[in-house]
Homo-oligomer: A and B are copies of this chain.
Amino acid sequence: MGEVLRVSASSNPKAGAGALAAILRKEGAVEIQAIGAGAVNQAVKAIAIARGFVAPNGIDLVAVPAFTKVEIDGEERTAMRFLVRGR
């Protein structure tokens, strides 16, 4: 479980979904990190879209959201992490 996808408020959800699906097919799981409401919203959209991308591969994608701390420019911020995996 190495790869972390970083999603921002300006990320394209469909492009994010493509990246997510590609990693998921290869690794079986992927983590997404988002800071702020706009980024979290784009991450959720990407996950919803990615479900459709991997469903034909027999993968039923689920997400587990969690809080995490990250440091940006020396300041501690709370980020959301989504552990996404197939079942």
Interface residues of A (CB under 8 A from B): 9, 36-38, 40-41, 44-45, 47-48, 51, 61-67, 80
Contact = CB atoms under 8 A, between A and B. Distances in A.
A22 B47 CA distance: 26
Copies in the complex: 2
Contacts of A65: 44-45, 47-48, 51, 63
Contact of A40 (B37, B61, B66): B37
- The list of the 9 closest CB pairs from A to B, nearest first, reads A37-B41, A62-B62, A48-B65, A40-B41, A37-B37, A44-B65, A63-B63, A37-B38, A47-B65
Contact of A61 (B45, B64, B80): B64
A76 to B, nearest CB: 17
A83 to B, nearest CB: 9
A24 to B, nearest CB: 14
